[in-house]
Amino acid sequence: MKDLLERLNTKYNLTDIKYQRDNLVFLTIGKENTIDLVTHLRDYEGFTHFVLLSCVDWIEEGKFQLTYFLNQPERKYDIAIRTMIDRDNAEMVSAHHLWRQITTYQRELREMYGINFPGSPGVDENFILEGWDDIPPMRREFDTKQYSEDTFFPREGRKTHDPASYMKEKLYPTEPTTDKVNKTDE
């Protein structure tokens, strides 16, 4: 993996390289070079399996962190390419041309975080939240508790049960529990 990273670093300006294991590394690259690096890893380094695309909301820094997880099945390498984009104008070049399933992740990130991926098929169509008209719900400024209180009616809380005795009562309702036996013997 180290020789791979040395080769990549000659072409790309990689930063913040962190090994989770010998065969799993996280690295950061500028937004403008991210898709080029992902393409290079697929076409020249054997990272043929796209695992997932995730997002982290760094509201304090005004950034979103996008992470592209790739796998190289022959050598069993995993690599996570992180890039930062602005929250205010959240937009990233689409990678749907590399793997078809990226379209699904990009649609989800569009709906849940408000990140635009221009040119990505179906990116502006409803995905999960049909008719949603509030701020994207995975952004950290979205107040889940307030939304719940405004949207749903209040109801009583649940009862809490000791799992062991509750299951005995439910499974064997006619058999006396240990507590009842001890009380009658006294």
Beta pairing class for 24-28 and 77-86 = parallel
Residue range 17-50, pLDDT digits in tens: 999 998 999 999 999 999 999 999 999 999 999 9
Beta pairing class for 24-28 and 15-21 = antiparallel
- Domain 2-152: which CATH number of 3.60.20.40, 2.60.260.20, 3.40.50.360, 3.30.460.80: 3.30.460.80
The reported pTM is 0.79
Which residue is listed with tokens 């982290």? 56
Domain boundaries along the sequence of the chain = 2-152
Q: According to the model, what pLDDT value does residue 36 have?
A: 96
